[in-house]
Structure 1
């Protein structure tokens, strides 16, 4: 006789148990916490402050403001996304750990559905990533970013949606790799190009037309920036935190939403092969 699946509340209880396990394991990892705190401080203190004087250039004897914000304010939302990107993708290493030590096999032969197991792991990674994003948000005043309660709630909501999609992406990567070492190398090879080609550390001047932008920047770079979905996540975060957008705010949210749904659907498909 086939084993009967638990009812809805049983599935929810299983999702909660896996979510709690993922969160506890991540928050007990001192190395991950130190990295989550030190990474944004390095970016904000060294890059943000160090490059701030060069964010405004003199053109034909006149000071031209690239955007009406300091470089520290401009880069601050991008640092939040960077912390989320690292934490979300790297939290998926737990899949390799569980597969290596047999825990995943034991869970998969339980009455829980595979989708419920996946959902618990993704929610756990997304929750941890939001915590790391909030670590950066906590130093907003230092960066000169004034936040209201509605700004913080909107930023946290965006963090969660983005974290959910990126953790799903990490699961897809982990499913194709066999060892911890290869995951670290491969994830960094994905994270850094995604981040640096997302208009994170330099702006595409919104005052320019597309034709002018293609003259100012290499055409291939503009195309890569526009095709990178992280570009729109960072732009959406900038719209919330400093009220500055390089792209249509509605389009930003649509891209982030579609990306999250697509990556989770891909993770569901890939998790069948585990």
Structure 2
């Protein structure tokens, strides 16, 4: 089983991203920063937040679903706000998505919020609402259940330091994972956590018996040349049975986002 975790950057590198996903076709794809604008048939819209202006792939969820036609696609919105088509405001949902290849039956599922709740009338003030999603699937080759839960951790404008809100979201994420995990299952937790490697978030998950593979296997960044700011870590992948890892890699080339894909093979 191949599991990929990636922040899609709103589809900014759309062509490279879709080509890569179609070619790699992971069994499970955990994708954060996904745009879904069902009221628009545009390819691109614009996100505006003060001086922060960014092109967004208007229907990234639709695009990735088309690139992975053999996968069950599940979108989990955190908020609905506005993107812009020139001067026209377009309602647009923002969140994360999970794509599961049809060869893996989904036998359990959990969706909820690790920070705040759904915001239906705008993206809200920072730190904004953040959702998480987990699936339990059956791996016929290994004859076992596997639970995979991911989140997009809250972004605090002050930085990636530990806060009570981040500790609370780590406990919520862990609770969601446990709610769909049976005793003999293999457990994976991953996502763009928006924290540093020495964070309380990773300590909470580590104390629960999970091993973090990015720093644990010597990788010094989950960012690539698209990311121009300091701080080279954001994305993490943890597992409770490290002996089940056949391979793990952080992909720096090709660049399909300003985050690197994390790929776990069981």
Structure 2 length-normalised TM: 0.24
Greater relative contact order (Cα < 8 A, sep 6+): 1
Structure 1 length-normalised TM: 0.23
- Larger fraction in helix: 1
